[in-house]
Amino acid sequence: MAEIKSAEEMHSLGRRIGEQLQAGDLILLSGPLGAGKTALTQGIGRALGIENITSPTFVISRIHPGKIQLVHVDAYRLQGEATAIFDDLDLESYLATSITVVEWGEGLADRLADQYLGIKIEFGESDDLRLVSIIGHGERFTGFSV
């Protein structure tokens, strides 16, 4: 578990993760609102040469061209009865050629691939502290570390 004390440290963690990713990788981010999921994605994007990543909360999905295309999804509004909208995003057609990062994707995006990286961000004891757990699922991510 990593202890992250600032937005810049979260960006740095994201960059280190992004440097190890390849086309076809699926990343599922979980954590409460304001925990740093988009900040982590911004760091992943920087490793891919992508700037200006913002939360896709209201548009649900954004595609960013880079060294490898980054598909960034915020599934917060797609929980419960709206799961059909998630299916309509057709993420499967991008999966093989992109890195796909899904915020709030548990129970939705984890069915897209047998192998994915789960990253959980939690608030620590102070307002600035975040605790980040990285859990690899499948052979591709066994022993993944940054």
Q: Measure the CA–CA gap between 66 and 49, rounded to whole angstroms.
A: 6
pLDDT of the residue at 75: 83
Structural domains counted in the chain:
1
Residue 142 in domain:
no
- Residue 76 within any structural domain of the chain: yes
Q: 101 — phi, psi (to 5°)?
A: -115, 125
* pLDDT score recorded for residue 95: 83
Q: Of 21-25, 109-113, 129-133, 136-140, which gets the smallest average pLDDT?
A: 109-113
Residue 80: the pLDDT is 66
Phi first, then psi, for residue 108 (nearest 5°) are: -120, -65
User: Which tokens is 123 given?
Assistant: 């608030």
CA 6, CA 83: separation in Å to the nearest integer? 33
- Residues above pLDDT 70, as percent of the chain: 95
107 found inside a domain: yes
What's residue 89's pLDDT? Answer: 75
Domain-located, residue 15: yes
CA distances from 136 to 20, 49, 72, 108, 133 (A): 13, 24, 19, 17, 10
Residue-wise pLDDT for 16-40, tens only, equals: 999 999 999 999 999 999 999 999 9
Dump pLDDT digits (tens) for 62-93: 999 999 999 999 888 776 666 676 777 777 78
Q: Smallest Cα–Cα separation from 42: which of 74, 68, 65, 8?
A: 8
Enumerate residues 6+ apart whose C-beta is below 8 A from 99.
18, 21, 22, 23, 24, 25, 27, 44, 48, 68, 69, 70, 71
In a domain, residue 143? The reply is no
When the pLDDT of each residue in the chain is averaged and rounded to a whole number, the result is: 89
Indicate which CATH number applies to the domain containing 81: 3.40.50.300
- Per-residue confidence band for 47, with pLDDT thresholds at 50, 70 and 90: very high
**Is residue 146 a part of any domain in this protein?**
no
Looking at the predicted structure, is the pLDDT value of residue 143 above 90?
no
Question: Of 52, 49, 62, 39, nearest to 19 (Cα)?
Answer: 49
